[in-house]
């Protein structure tokens, strides 16, 4: 003998009928969204790791530049004023020679 559902399909409330028709496609879409979310989370994690690595590299480069500038500052401080003038003159001469070559 066939079992009859608790409610006949035509006597179900509108919302329950609506949801029963949409349930398969909603479930499928929900699954797709979850998969897409997992993919995006993995991509975001990779991007985050890349950004963190780049930050470390930048910090290292900046620290190296700061050390170089500090060394130059100490070198300039150790020079006598007349030596500074000699270096300036030499730098001007080299600059003029480079410009003459470029022309």
2 within some domain: no
Which pTM was predicted? 0.53
Give me the domain span that covers residue 34.
16-102
CA-angle at 40, arms to 39 and 42, nearest 5°:
65
Please give the Cα distance from 63 to 68 (Å, whole number).
9
User: Taking the CA of residue 40 as centre, how many other CA atoms within 13 Å lie in the half-sphere pointing to its CB?
Assistant: 6
5 within some domain: no
Three-state SS at 60: helix
Q: Residue 103 — very low, low, confident or very high, per pLDDT cuts 50/70/90? A: confident
Whole-number average pLDDT of the chain: 88
**Helical H segments across the chain, by residue range:** 14-78, 81-102
10 within some domain: no
- 33-44: pLDDT as tens digits: 999 999 999 999
Tally of domains in the chain: 1
- 56-75: pLDDT as tens digits: 999 999 999 999 999 989 98
């Amino acid at each position: 003998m066939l079992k009859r559902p608790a409610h006949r399909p035509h006597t179900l409330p509108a919302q329950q009928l609506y949801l029963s028709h949409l349930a398969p496609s909603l479930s499928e879409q929900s699954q797709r969204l979850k998969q897409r979310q997992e993919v995006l989370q993995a991509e975001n994690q990779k991007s985050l790791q890349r950004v963190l690595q780049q930050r470390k590299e930048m910090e290292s480069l900046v620290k190296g530049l700061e050390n170089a500038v500090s060394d130059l500052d100490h070198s300039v401080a150790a020079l006598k004023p007349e030596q500074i003038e000699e270096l300036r003159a030499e730098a001007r001469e080299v600059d003029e020679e480079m410009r003459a070559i470029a022309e």
